[in-house]
């Protein structure tokens, strides 16, 4: 308590408004009486209030799931843009989400050489048992 008198309140972190760009995100809103976390889902275009130094906010910003509203006009612009998903500049697509997460199995990307299926000949019958000839990996 050095440098602070008992009547001073501790400084609260500055909060900002953030707009959800992905389809939806799940955030905790508090605790239930039984001690478990209480969750809520915020849909695309919804607004979150969050502390600037929050680990959750930083993680969502890094993933591109939310964007900070710089002003009330910017907030209205982003929300209006998100209403038309086909023309939206801000909306987080599957490709953007996979890229931000570093996922190698992006459903939009072409398959990588390491994960291509193995080519195999048709199975033959030998005394009632199925057999495979040699397996090629061309």
- pLDDT on residue 74: 93
Q: Mean of the per-residue pLDDT values for the chain?
A: 78
pLDDT above 60: residue 63: yes
- pLDDT on residue 126: 61
Kindly state the average pLDDT of the residues 72-100.
Answer: 86
How far is 59 from 2, CA to CA, in rounded Å?
33
How far is 41 from 27, CA to CA, in rounded Å?
6
- Does this model's pTM top 0.75? My answer is no
Q: Does 60 reside within a domain? A: yes
Counting the structural domains of the chain, the total is: 1
- pLDDT on residue 67: 92
Give the per-residue SS3 of 48-108: EEEECCCHHHHHHHHHCCEEECCCHHHHHHHHHHHCCCCCCCCCCCHHHHHHHHCCCCCCC
pLDDT above 90: residue 28: no
- pLDDT on residue 128: 59
Gyration radius from the chain CA atoms: 25
Q: Does 138 reside within a domain? A: no
Q: Does 83 reside within a domain? A: yes
Return the percentage of the chain with pLDDT > 90, whole number.
Answer: 20
What is the token pair recorded at 17? 């408004």
Which range marks the domain in which residue 25 is found? 15-113
Q: Does 85 reside within a domain? A: yes
- pLDDT on residue 137: 46
Q: Does 10 reside within a domain? A: no
Residue pLDDT, tens place only, 77-89: 999 999 987 888 8
Q: Does 125 reside within a domain? A: no
How far is 88 from 85, CA to CA, in rounded Å?
5
- pLDDT on residue 87: 87
Q: Does 31 reside within a domain? A: yes
What is the token pair recorded at 85? 């998903």
Q: Does 121 reside within a domain? A: no
pLDDT above 90: residue 4: no
């Amino acid at each position: 308590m050095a440098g602070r008198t008992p009547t001073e309140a501790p400084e609260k972190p500055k909060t900002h408004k953030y707009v959800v760009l992905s389809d939806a995100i799940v955030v905790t809103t508090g605790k239930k009486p039984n001690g478990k976390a209480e969750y809520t889902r915020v849909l695309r275009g919804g607004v979150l209030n969050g502390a600037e130094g929050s680990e959750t906010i930083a993680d969502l910003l890094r993933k591109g799931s939310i964007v900070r509203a710089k002003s009330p006009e910017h907030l209205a612009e982003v929300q209006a843009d998100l209403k038309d998903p086909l023309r939206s500049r801000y909306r987080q697509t599957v490709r953007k989400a996979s890229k931000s997460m570093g996922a190698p199995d992006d459903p939009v990307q072409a398959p990588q050489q390491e994960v291509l299926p193995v080519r195999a000949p048709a199975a033959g019958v030998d005394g009632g048992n199925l057999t495979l000839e040699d397996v090629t990996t061309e």
